[in-house]
Structure 1
Amino acid sequence: MRNVGKTATLENKFPLLAVENNCILSKDADITACFRVHLPELFTVATTEYEAIHSAWHKAIKTLPDYTIVHKQDWYIKENYAPDLTEEDQSFLSKSYQRHFNERPFLNHYCYLFLTKTTKERMRMQSNFSSLCKGVLIPKEIRDKETVRRFMEAVAQFERIINDSGFVKLERLTENDIIGTGDTKGLLEQYLTLSKEKGTPMQDIALGSEDVRIGNKRLCLHTLSDTDDLPNTVSSNTRYEKLSTDRSDCLLSFAAPVGLLLSCNHIYNQYLFLDNSDENLRKFEKAARNMHSLARYSRANQINKEWIERYLNEAHSFGLSSIRAHFNVMAWSDDPDELKRLKNDTGSALALMECKPRHNTVDVATLYWAAMPGNAGDFPSEESFYTFIEPALCFFTEETNYQSSVSPFGIKMADRLTGKPIHLDISDLPMKKGVITNRNKFILGPSGSGKSFFTNHMVRQYYEQGAHVLLVDTGNSYQGLCELIKGKTRGEDGVYFTYTENNPIAFNPFYTDDGVFDIEKRESIKTLILTLWKRDDEPPTRSEEVALSNAVSGYIQRIKQNAEYPSFNGFYDYVQSDYRNVLEEKQVREKDFDLANFLNVLEPYYKGGEYDYLLNSDKQLDLLSKRFIVFEIDAIKDHKILFPIVTIIIMEVFINKMRRLKGVRKMILIEEAWKAIAKEGMAAYIKYLFKTVRKFFGEAIVVTQEVDDIIQSPVVKESIINNSDCKILLDQRKYMNKFDDIQAMLGLTEKEKAQILSINQNNDPSRLYKEVWIGLGGTHSAVYATEVSLEEYYCYTTEETEKMEVMQLASELGGNMEMAIKRIAGQRRDNANSY
C-alpha cells in the first residue's frame, strides 16, 4: 500500500544552516547569539532587587540594533533525584539520607537567552511564510558584513550590562553546548526531543493543524498574543500570599506562576521584537488619523483612536521605544488524561497573573518551530502585540530553583519548594568569597521549632567531614548521635560526659597524651586551681600568683624527671612536701603566700575529700584526639563548685584543640549552657573564643531559645552576635510581637525579615520537615528545609518516649545503637505501608 501521508525529512525542513563562532546561522541569514542565564534563587529577591534586575534588562535591550529579536526560553523539566550510593566511606546515616531522597521528583529549571539579528522583511512575515510551509530552503548569503560586526558589538555590550548588574549572569554557549558531542546532547537535540535526558532518541515530529506531537509527547500551548488577554497593570514583582504575613511580604516575579510554581514539564517562551520604533509610531499616527476620519461611522473607531493616542502620548512623553512582544507556555505529556490536567493548570497559572488564558490550537506548529533556538526569525508576526520595553519585561521570569554549592565541604539541606536535597556550604566558600569574615554561628529558635534537629544534622555532617566537634549541652539533645558514633568507632570516639550520682563527671587536669605541657595547658591548670582556691570577689595578689605558677611548674618538672603518673593528688602531695621546702628556702612569708590556707581550701579535692573523684580520674582520656565530645551539664549548671571547674575543663579542651591541631577544622557548640557560663565569670572565655577561633580554622556556635536573653545580655550582644557572621533562625511566629526588637538587634533587613516570617507558612503536608533561615554576612540569605530520613530522625529525636525506646532496644542489643535505629525505623515504615 502506498503511503499518502504528508511527510518530510527533518533535513529538508531544518531552518538552521550552521554554528560558527558560537553563533547559530539560519538558512535565511539570521544570526543568533546564545547564552545560558543564571538567575537569583527563589524567595531570595527583594523589591529593590527586582527593580534593579528589570532596569538592567531594559538598559541592555536598549543597546541592541533594530530588527533584533530577544528570545528568553525557560525550561522546567520534571526530574528525579539520583543519589550517589556508590560513594566510599559513607556513614550509616548518610546512606539513610540518600536512600530517603532516592528518586525524589522535583522541577528543574534551565534558562537560555537567544539574541537574533534578522531583517525588516523577516520581522513582518506571518505564519504562512514559515519555513515549514516552504518546499525547499535555499540558504541566503549574508551580504552586509558591517551589520554583523555592529550586532556582535551590541551583543558584547548587552552581556556586559547584564553581568555588571550583579543579580543575573549570562554565560555564552559554546558550539558543543548548542550541537552536542558524542557524549552529550546539544540544545538543539534537546529541543527537538523535548528531553534533557542523555540517550533520548530522535522520534517522529507530527506538526498538525491542531495537534503537535514529539514522539509520544503531545503539546499543549497557551499564548499571550493580544492586548485584550493582558492584565490592566503589570509590575516587576508580585506578592506571594502563601508565604506572606500581615507584617511581611514574600515577593516573586510577576511571571512566577508560569515558572517554578507550575509543576509540570513546560517551556515558557518570552519574545521581544525590536522594530524601528520611529517607524512604528509613524504607522500609529497614520492609523489614528484614519480612525478619526471614520469615527462617525463606528463608535469602535472612536475608541480605537483614543487608545492609539494614549499609546502615542506615552511614547512621546517618556521617550519609550515601541516594540512587539509575545509570550507562550508550551506544556507536554505522553498521557492524554494528564494533558487535560496540564491545560487546566496552565490556564490557572495565567489567570493568577490576571491574564486571560488562551489555549492556542491554530498556530501550535509554527510557534513550536519558531521557538527552536536560533529560529526566532520564523516567528509569525500576527501572534505578537505592540507594547513598550518596560511593561514587556515584567513578563520575564526572574528566579530559579535553589542551587547546590560548588564547594566540596558543606551540609545537606532541602529545597523548601520541591524537597530536592541541596549541598550548602555556610563556612568555607562564603569566607573565600568575602561574604563573611568568620565562621561563627548564632542560632535562635523557640522550643519545638526544630533547633535540636538542625544542630544534630549539622554537627553530624561536620564530624563526618573530619571536623573536631565539642558540644556543651543542657538537655541530652546529642546523646543518640554520640552513642551512635561511639558504637561505630568502638569507643575510640563519641565521648559523653554527664553528671549522675553513680557516675559523676571526673577529669585529670594534669594528663596529656604526649607529655607536652605548653603555655595554654599550664595557664589552664593555674586558672583551675585559682578557681578552686579563690572566690570571685577575692582576686589573688601578685605574690600568690607567682607562688602558684612556681608550684605548677615545679610539679610538671617532677613529672618529667621521675616519669610518674600525673594527677591532682600528686600535685597536692608535691605542694605539701617538696614545694614547702622550696618556700622555706626562698623564705617566702606567710602573708605573701599562706601555704596552710592553700592546702586547706584544696583538701576537698584531695584523696579522702568530698570531691576527691573530680580531679583524679584514672581514665586516661585523650580529649585532644577525640573528634566528638559532648558535655551534658544540666545537672550541675547551678552547682557553685562543680560548674566552674567543669566549664574551665571544657574551655581548656577546646582551646587546646584550637591551638595544637593545625589545619584541622574545629567546632564548639554551646547550647543554653552559655547563660550559666556567662554568669559565672566565664564571659572572658566566650569573648576570647568568638574573637580568636577564626584564626585557627575553627568556629564557635551559640544556640538559644529565649529572646529576652539575647536582647538583654551584653555578653551575647557584644561578643557573640557581633562576631557571628552566620545567623540561623527557626520558626519565629511565637515571637511575632517581639520580632521588631530581634530585627533591630540582629541588624536584619526587610527582605530577611520577610524570609524569616515565611518559615513553615506553606509546608507540604506529604513531607515531614521544618524550615530554617540561614543568613550570611547580611547579604546572602534563604530559607531551607531540614528533612531527614527515619534513621536520622530516631538518632536526633529529643522526644523522651522515642529516645527511651531507642536506648532500651540498643541496650538489649548489646549497645548496638545502629541496629536499634535500623529496627525501629524499619518497623515504622512497615506500619506506614500497611495502611
Structure 2
Amino acid sequence: MEVTMSRLLVTNKSFELLEPYEGKLSRTVLRGESSRKGADLLDIDQYLNEAHSFGLQSVRAHFNVLAWSDDVQELRHIRNDVGSQLALMECRPRHNTVDAATLYWAGMPGNAGDFPAEESFYTFIEPAVCFFTEETNYKSSSSPFGIKLCDRVSGRPLHLDISDEPMKKGIITNRNKFVLGGSGSGKSFFMNHLVRQYWEQGTHVVLVDTGNSYQGLCELIRRKTKGEDGVYFTYTEEHPISFNPFYTDDYYFDVEKKDSIKTLLLTLWKTEDDKITKTESGELGSAVNAYIERIRADRNIVPCFDSFYEYLRDDYRRELEEREIRVSREDFNIDNMLITLRQYYKGGRYDFLLNSRANIDLLSKRFVVFEVDSIKENKELFPVVTIIIMEAFINKMRRLKGVRKQLIVEEAWKALSTANMAEYLRYMYKTVRKYYGEAIVVTQEVEDIISSPVVKEAIINNSDCKILLDQRKFMNRFDAIQSLLGLTDKEKAQILSINQSNDPSRKYKEVWIGLGGVQSAVYATEVSVPEYLAYTTEETEKVEVQRLAGELGGDMELAIRQLAEGKR
C-alpha cells in the first residue's frame, strides 16, 4: 500500500491478472518474491491454500493516494489524515517520497508499462476491485430513456436513467420518487428539468403545484404544441378553476370513473365527520350509473353537474317514490343531499366549479398543471379539486396502455390535508407501478415528513428512488431524516457534501440520487441559459421574462431567446 501526500487527493489503482500457478511452481515463485520482501512463509501457505480451496484468481495490485502541498504544515496534516483513514480500512499505509514521480507517471493511461513491479502485492480479485468503487466514477446509462445531468467534478454531460434500467436490473421494484430539499436548494428547478425531459420522451405528466413553479414550462409546451397540450388550471376571481367530471371525448365511463364521480358527490354532500352508510353509497352510485346511461342514449343532453342535478331532482327522486320497496328518508335522504349540493348548481355560490364548458378531456393531454396555492385553505373547494385531480390521473393510469404516466405532488403536506387525498395517494403509490407509472412527492418541510404517517408509511416506503438537494438548513436535524429515509453513513456523507465545493466558473446546483439503497451519487444540474430562464422560480427573473413576453405579443419562447442572448 503506497501513500504519497497531496492537496488534491487522487487515487491511482492498477492490478495485473496472473495465470494460476500449480503445485510447487506457485510456492517457489511466491516464496522467492516473499523472501525479497521479508514476508512470512506461513502467510504464503495460507494464501495459496485459500486460492486452491476456493478457486480464487490471483492478481498483483497497487493502490496509492497522490497529494502535494507547498506548505509543510499542511502536508503533515494531509499525511496524518490520509494515513488514519487508510488505517480505519485495516490497511497499513507506507509514506513514499522516493518513487512519487514514477508512480504519478505510471498512473496515467498508457504508461502502465513503466510501473515498478516491486511496488505491487499479491491479492485476489475480490479484495482488489473493491478499491475501484468511487463516487466520481460516473457512467452514462445504456438505456435510451433518461435525463441529462453532469459529473459534479468535471462537468461532463451524463445520460442517467432512474426509472427503467434500475427496474430491469432489480435495483428498484417501483419507479416512485421522493424529493426533499429546503427553500432555495434548487428543488423546483431540478423538477422542471426532470419533467420537461420526461414529457419530451412521451410521458403523460400531471402536476399538483403550489407557487407557480411550472407556469413558464407549461406555457412553453402550450405554444410548442399550438395549444394541443400544456393545460394550466389555476384559481383567480376573474377565471376561477373549473372542471367537468361528467365529460369524456368518447362517452366511455369505466368502473373507476363512475366510482370517482360517486366519491366526489359524497365529498360534496357529507363532512369528514359524517358516516356514509351502504345505502347512501349504493343509491348515489345507482343514480350516477343511470345518468350516464341517459347521456349515452341522448347525446343532446349536455354532460355536466347541472344536468345531473336536474336528473337527480326530478327523475331519480320520482323513481325512488315509485319503487315497490321504498327507501326510507333515514337510509337515504335525497332532499338533504339536493339542498347541500344546490350551491354547485347554476345560480349557486360555486356553480362554476363542476360545469366547465371548455370540454377538455385530460386523457389526451400530456402535460397538465393544477395550481392550488390560492385555494389550499378553502375547505369547500380544495377537497373537490384534489379528488378531480386524482380521478384525472387514475383515468390516465388505467386507460393508457403501454404509456408512461407521472403524477407529481409539490409540497406534499398541503395536498395531504384531506382524508380523501391521503387515501388516493396511498392507493396511488401502491398500484401505479403496475400501470407503467410513477408517483412523485416533492417537499421542503422536514417536520411534515417526520410527523406525517401518510408520508412515512405510504410514500417513503413505496419510493425506491430518493432525491435530496442541499440539506445544510437541516444539518442539525439530519439524523432524524437519515433514520426516516433509511440512509447509510456513506449516503449521508454524500448528501452533506452537496454544494460544498462547487466550481465558481460554472453555474449549477448539485443533487443526490439514491436507488433502492444500492446505488447513489451526487450529480450536477447544469443547463443552458435559455433552459435556466424557462425553469427559474426567482421572482425578479420570472417577471422579466413575462414582461418581455408581453411586449412580444405573449411569445415567451422569443422572450427567453432574447434575454439569453443578452446574458451571453
2:377 and 2:130 mapped to 1: Cα distance? 61
**Residue 584 of structure 1: CA displacement?**
1.4
Paired position in structure 1 for 2:481 = 742
Specify whether residues 326 and 477 from structure 1 end up closer, same or farther in structure 2 by C-alpha distance, changes over 3 A only. Answer: closer
DSSP-derived class of the 1:319 partner: helix
Query: Distance between the aligned counterparts of 1:327 and 1:436, measured in 2?
Result: 34
Equivalence for 2:344: 605
1:528 corresponds to which of 236, 248, 264:
264
Q: What code does the residue aligned with 2:311 have? A: Y
Separation in 1, partners of 2:133, 2:17: 16
Is 1:723 paired with 2:462? yes
- Alpha-carbon deviations, 1:287-325, whole Å to 9, x = none? xxxxxxxxxxxxxxxxxxxxxxxx53x424633889999
Instruction: Name the structure 2 match of 1:421.
Output: 157
TM-score, normalisation: structure 2: 0.84
- Cα displacement (A) at 1:817: 1.4
The residue that corresponds to 2:171 in the other structure is 435
Separation of aligned partners in 1, 2:146 and 2:96: 42
Give the Å deviation of 1:674.
Answer: 4.1
How has the CA–CA distance of structure 1 residues 674 and 668 changed in structure 2, closer, same or farther, with 3 Å as cutoff?
farther
Aligned residue in 2 for 1:803 = 542
Counting only pairs closer than 5 Å after superposition, residues 749-760 of structure 1 correspond to structure 2 as: 749-760=488-499
Residues 81-121 of structure 1 show CA distances to partners (whole Å, capped at 9, x for unaligned) of: xxxxxxxxxxxxxxxxxxxxxxxxxxxxxxxxxxxxxxxxx
Measured at CA, do residues 680 and 635 of structure 1 come closer, stay the same or move farther in structure 2, by a change above 3 Å?
A: farther
Change (3 A) 1:318 1:650: same
1:556 and 2:556 matched: no
Are 1:572 and 2:313 an aligned pair?
no
Structure of higher RCO (CA pairs closer than 8 Å, 6+ residues apart) = 2
- Contact kept, 8 Å, 2:59 with 2:123, in 1: the verdict is no
* Amino acid corresponding to residue 40 of structure 2 in structure 1: A
Displacement, 1:681?
A: 3.9
| TM-aligned CA deviation for residue 588 of structure 1 | 3.2
Task: Choose from 504, 509, 521 the match for 1:770.
Answer: 509
Alpha-carbon distance in structure 2 between the residues aligned to 1:728 and 1:397? 25
Counterpart CA distance in 1 for 2:445 and 2:166 is 28
Counterpart Cα distance in 2 of 1:630 and 1:654 = 12
Q: Kindly state the Cα deviation for residue 632 of structure 1 after the two structures are TM-superposed.
A: 0.6
Name the structure 1 match of 2:255.
Answer: 519
Task: Kindly state the Cα deviation for residue 270 of structure 1 after the two structures are TM-superposed.
Answer: 6.4
Give distance in 1, aligned partners of 2:460 and 2:130: 41
Letter in 2 for 1:590: R
Q: Does 1:389 align with 2:122?
A: yes
Match of 1:171 in 2: none
CA shift in 2, pair 1:385/1:705, >3 Å: same
1:268-307 pair list within 5 angstroms: 276-280=29-33
Alignment of 1:129-208 (within 5 A): none
Give per-residue Cα distances to partners, 1:605-629, cap 9 Å, x unaligned. 1111111111111101011000000
Match of 2:372 in 1: 633
Separation of aligned partners in 1, 2:137 and 2:197: 24
Aligned equivalents of 2:312, 2:131: Cα separation in 1: 80
Is 1:714 equivalent to 2:447 in the alignment? no
State the one-letter code of the partner of 1:443.
V
Does the residue aligned with 1:507 lie in a helix, a strand or coil?
Answer: coil
Tell me the equivalent position of 1:192: none
Whole-angstrom CA distance in 2 between matches of 1:706 and 1:276: 63
Question: 1:398, 1:618 → 2: CA distance?
Answer: 59
Counterpart in the other structure of 2:85:
none
Q: 1:721 to 1:419 in 2, by over 3 A?
A: same
Maintained 8 Å contact 1:769/1:788 = yes
SS at match of 1:469: strand
The residue type equivalent to 1:356 in the other structure is: T
Q: Distance in 2 between matches of 1:589 and 1:443?
A: 50
Partner Cα distance (1:716, 1:598) in 2? 34
Corresponding residue SS for 1:754:
helix
For 1:624, the equivalent position in structure 2 comes to 363
Q: CA deviation at 1:385?
A: 3.7
1:150-172 Cα deviation digits (max 9, x unpaired):
xxxxxxxxxxxxxxxxxxxxxxx
Report 1:491-530 matches (<5 A): 491-530=227-266
The equivalent of 1:815 in structure 2 is 554
Tell whether the 8 Å contact from 1:470 to 1:628 is kept in structure 2 after alignment. Answer: yes
Instruction: Report which of the two structures shows the higher radius of gyration computed on alpha carbons.
Output: 1
User: Are the equivalent residues in 1 in contact too, given 2:468–2:512 (CA < 8 A)?
Assistant: yes
Residues 397, 437 of structure 2: 8 Å contact kept:
yes
Provide closer, same or farther for how the CA distance between residues 593 and 417 of structure 1 changes in structure 2, counting only shifts above 3 A: same
Distance 1:276 1:509, change over 3 A: same
Pair 1:821–1:754, CA change in 2 (3 A): same
- More helix, by proportion: 2
Q: Give the whole-Å Cα distance in 1 for the aligned partners of 2:434 and 2:156.
A: 35
SS at match of 2:185: coil
Structure 2 residue aligned with 1:356: 97
Distance 2:431 2:60 in 1: 58
C-alpha spacing 1:588/1:731, structure 2 compared with 1 (3 Å):
same
| Distance of 1:561 and 1:501 partners within structure 2 | 37
| Counterpart contact for 1:271–1:327, Cα < 8 Å | no
8 A contact 2:393–2:407 mirrored in 1: yes
**Could you say if the C-alpha distance between residues 719 and 813 of structure 1 is closer, same or farther in structure 2, counting changes exceeding 3 Å?**
same
Unaligned segments of structure 1, at least 5 residues = 1-53, 55-229, 243-255, 260-267, 285-310, 330-341, 830-835
Q: Give the TM-score, by structure 1 length.
A: 0.58
Deviations along 1:463-495, one digit per CA (max 9) or x if unpaired, are: 000000000011101011001001111111000
Check 1:650–1:774 CA distance in 2 against 1; reply closer, same or farther (3 A cut).
same
1:752 and 1:819 mapped to 2: Cα distance? 42
CA distance in 1, matches of 2:7, 2:339: 70
What amino acid is the match of 1:621?
Answer: I
Q: In structure 2, what is the equivalent of residue 408 of structure 1?
A: 144
2:334 to 595, 600, 605: 595
C-alpha separation in 2, matches of 1:543 and 1:722? 36
Report the equivalent of 2:566.
Answer: 827
For 2:130 and 2:254, locate their aligned partners in 1 and report how far apart those are by CA, in whole Å: 66
User: Structure 1 residues 790 and 593, CA, compared in 2 at 3 Å: closer, same or farther?
Assistant: same
User: For residues 478-518 of structure 1, what are the alpha-carbon distances to aligned partners after superposition, in whole Å with 9 as ceiling and x for unaligned?
Assistant: 01100100111111100011111111101111111111111
> Quick one: structure 1 residues 795 and 559, their matched pair in 2 at CA, closer, same or farther if it must change by over 3 Å?
same
Deviations 1:335-380 (A, max 9, x none): xxxxxxx9x9xxx99x97854265879xx9xx99xx788xx6xx79
- Equivalent residues of 1:324, 1:385 under 8 A apart: no
Q: Deviations over 1:265-299 (max 9, x none)?
A: xxx876799982323456x5xxxxxxxxxxxxxxx
Question: Once the 2 structures are TM-superposed, how far is the Cα of residue 575 of structure 1 from its aligned partner?
Answer: 1.4
- The residue identity in structure 2 corresponding to 1:548 is L
Determine if contact 2:15/2:59 at 8 Å carries over to the other structure: no
Instruction: Pick one of 10, 18, 34 that aligns with 1:257.
Output: 10
Tell me the number of residue pairs that the alignment of Structure 1 and Structure 2 aligns: 519
Superposed CA offset, 1:516-557 (max 9, x none): 111111111111111111111112222222221222122112
Equivalent residue, structure 2, for 1:761:
500
The one-letter amino acid of 1:483's match is E
Q: Secondary structure at the match of 2:375?
A: coil
Residue equivalent to 2:414: 675
Map of 2:40 onto structure 1? 315
**Alpha-carbon distance change, 673 to 634 in structure 1, aligned in 2, over 3 angstroms:** farther
Stretches of structure 2 lacking an aligned partner (at least 5 in a row): 19-25, 49-57, 83-94
Distance (Å, rounded) in 1 between the aligned partners of 2:121 and 2:100? 25
**Alpha-carbon contact 1:325-1:386 (below 8 Å) kept:** no
Q: What amino acid does structure 2 have at the position aligned with 1:601?
A: T
List per-residue Cα deviations over 1:623-660 (Å, max 9, x = no partner): 10000000010111110110000001000000000000
* Partner-residue secondary structure (3-state), 1:592: coil
CA contact (8 A) 1:325 1:385 kept: no
What's 1:207 paired with? Answer: none
